[in-house]
């Protein structure tokens, strides 16, 4: 591969990106339903960007009701080579202050009410999630965030909770004991589905609050989050533009994790036992191997 086509999934507060040339709005239907919103496709120089607001414009969708499968399918169907997630999060670590950006490298999934796989009865597959984040894409995005003026922490474990409620103090303390660094409500389903779709995935986790583990402070509220979010969103938009600028003239190579071919070793259902109806739904995400 030589061309970068980066799918950008915008989280809370990020509902558009700036600087796109030849921008066009696309409506995509998938076998998994309708994505969160229309997708915006354009270029910054030689780099193609496809933007999708995770919660829909106006923040219509809860973390549980985001159509994760439709979103990832649509980005794959439109030719994305990589996915960059922009996500608001709470900090579980004193050193990660509101306003900081964390380039996470690990995930813990505590969600329980979501569809997290494209596969199932009739076509079973097991992909590795040992290393859920693409280190190459994370490094590039972190460099861009740093250039945008953000305080950037490299590495960290993101715990994905179901939500939409924030944590109890007991939960927040428990997650700190587990060694988690930040907490959010969206990234684990996305990362798993991106891996099944053979798309390298990375996250810029934007800290908005300290969750509720600091006993001397009030717990996190939407008012706290919105106060920090505006500044975070401005830096995130600049980081996306800077990332595209930095990639000009740099050919895209495959992820060091081998994500683009991970399904070569993941399919377990014998060819004669595969359900044609299930295979038809997998045309975009797994068409390369099916």
> Which candidate, 181, 200, 182, places its Cα nearest to that of 191?
200
At residue 68, what are phi and psi to the nearest 5 degrees? -55, -45
User: Annotated catalytic residue: which of 37, 82, 105, 211?
Assistant: 211
Tell me if residue 245 is catalytic: no
Tell me if residue 211 is catalytic: yes
The structure tokens 């300290």 sit at: 210
Q: Where are the alpha helices (DSSP H) in 178-274?
A: 187-196, 222-246
User: Annotated catalytic residue: which of 209, 245, 264, 275?
Assistant: 209
Distance CA 290, CA 272 (A): 13
Distance CA 203, CA 60 (A): 22
Distance CA 202, CA 143 (A): 13
For the chain, counts of helices (H) and of strands (E) = 6, 11
Which residues does the annotation mark as catalytic? 209, 211
């Amino acid at each position: 591969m030589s061309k970068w086509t980066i799918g950008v999934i915008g989280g809370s507060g990020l509902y558009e990106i700036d600087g796109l040339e030849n921008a066009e709005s696309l409506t995509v239907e998938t076998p998994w339903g309708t994505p969160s919103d229309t997708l915006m496709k354009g270029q910054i120089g030689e780099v193609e960007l496809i933007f999708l607001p995770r919660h829909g414009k106006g923040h219509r969708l809860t973390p549980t009701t985001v159509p994760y499968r439709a979103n990832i399918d649509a980005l794959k169907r439109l030719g994305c080579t990589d996915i960059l997630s922009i996500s608001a999060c709470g900090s579980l670590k004193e050193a990660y202050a509101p306003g900081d950006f964390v380039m996470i490298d690990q995930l813990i999934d505590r969600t329980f009410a979501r569809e997290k796989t494209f596969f199932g009865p009739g076509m079973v597959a097991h992909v590795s999630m040992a290393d859920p984040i693409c280190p190459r894409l994370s490094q590039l995005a972190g460099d861009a965030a740093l250039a945008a003026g953000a305080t950037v922490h490299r590495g960290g474990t993101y715990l994905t909770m179901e939500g939409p409620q924030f944590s109890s103090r007991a939960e927040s303390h428990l997650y700190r004991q587990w060694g988690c660094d930040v907490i959010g409500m969206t990234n684990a389903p996305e990362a798993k589905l991106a891996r099944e779709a053979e798309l390298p995935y990375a996250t810029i986790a934007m800290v908005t609050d300290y969750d509720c583990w600091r006993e001397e402070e009030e717990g996190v509220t939407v008012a706290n989050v919105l106060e920090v979010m505006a500044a975070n969103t401005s830096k995130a938009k600049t980081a996306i533009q800077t990332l595209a600028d930095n990639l000009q003239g740099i050919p895209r190579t495959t992820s060091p994790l081998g994500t683009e071919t991970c399904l070569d070793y993941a399919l377990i259902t014998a060819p004669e036992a595969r359900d044609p109806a299930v295979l038809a739904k997998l045309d975009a995400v797994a068409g390369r191997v099916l």
